[in-house]
Amino acid sequence: MPIMSKSKDVNGNGRFEGVIGLAATGHLKIGSFIIKETIGKGAFGAVKKGTHIQTGYNVAIKILNRSRMKGLGTVTKTRNEIDNLQKLTHPHITRLFRVISTPSDIFLVMELVSGGELFSYITKKGFLGVKESRRYFQQIISGVSYCHKHMIVHRDLKPENLLLDQYKNIKIADFGLSNYMTDGDLLSTCCGSPNYAAPELISNKLYVGPEVDLWSCGVILYAMLNGSLPFDDQHVPTLFQKIKSGCFNIPPMMDKEAADLVKIMLKVNPVERADVKQIIKHGWFKIDLPFYLFPESENESSIVDIDAVQSVAEKYTVKEEDVTAVLLAEDHHHVLSIAYRLEVNHKRNADESSQKAKDEFWEIGRRMKLGNEEVQLTRKRKGTRAGR
């Protein structure tokens, strides 16, 4: 017997209503999503695997218990995360597809990111190679730059908040400490993790926002390449002194060009610190830089994926014009809008996987060609010696 419980959107105005009940499979269903097994647990509730009924695509459903949030005083933190994530659509930022609110819980329907934390990945490997570190760093800077262009500063960037998807691509997560920047206004809140915090942040000085995120990115790059932190100490006051001094050790084996980039990103004076433009222009950063990370035009809201529109229209038996109209109205809670974003996200991940496979294929072919040339060259040399 189904549980008939009406749900409202996060603002509680009842404009987007859904029904919580039981699906044909016996699983709990909320809106157009089937809730399946638990894949994680947080301070406020469980994270479940879910499936969108119409498209069949898997998602992560983060269940936030209202009572626990009030008890821990994190209602504002959660509201910030929801508000800011709804403004962002980027291949290297976790996608928020839908927010469903009930009297007891808030359900966040998000992109399923199954590869674990970057922190765990670095810990397992000890440190990452230059090529792999650069690829991740390029994706991180692309996502962070996108946030800043949309006036959002993350303020808690660290490997624990950088997830890896099934194709080993970065997904920036946990926007709980993020803030919306207003022109002319400075921020003052000291937040984030001490080891990744910028000097001005721990000194309780006013700051704009982007400069503290880029400091954290510099620490992350150092951590990926070396498997250690540039500033570390068990005694927090001593740790803060080290950060404020800006003095850190560059291991002799560290790539020189990468070390140069880290140095200009970890400048104590935020005015002297490298900004996104300087990072993108850096020689080390530009190597093998994918075009899609920093496109000339970033007005994604004006770009409609025709294939995705056609697929949604077919699955919902509606006209393509109906889907397009919903997208142009920017009604992110409409069922057609949710289905469209799921289609685009699935397609993008598949394209990245396909491109990665192509790159590996051509790289293997190139190596085989070089290997054959070396073999032929060796044979010629042996033949010359025999002739002598």
Rounded CA separation 308/122 (Å): 36
CB-neighbour burial class of residue 145 (10 A; exposed 0-12, middle 13-18, buried 19+): buried
Active-site choice (9, 83, 105, 156): 156
Instruction: List the structure tokens of 5.
Output: 């419980």
Interatomic CA distance for residues 70 and 362, integer angstroms: 54
Residues contacting 35, CB < 8 A, separation 6+: 27, 28, 29, 48, 50, 61
Structure tokens at 124: 């397992």
86 vs 96: CA distance, rounded Å? 6
As given in the structure block, the two tokens for residue 60 are 């992560």
- Do residues 316 and 54 lie in contact, with contact meaning Cβ atoms separated by under 8 Å? yes
User: CB of 229 within 8 A of CB of 183?
Assistant: no
Residue 255 is a catalytic residue: no
Which residues 6+ apart lie within 8 Å of 20 measured at CB?
Answer: 3, 4, 5, 7, 28, 29, 30, 102
DSSP string, 318-353: --HHHHHHHHHTT-TTSHHHHHHHHHHHHHHHHHHH
Is residue 62 marked as binding?
yes
Q: Which amino acid is at 5?
A: S
Annotated binding site: 62
Annotated binding site for ATP: 62
Catalytic positions, written as ranges: 156
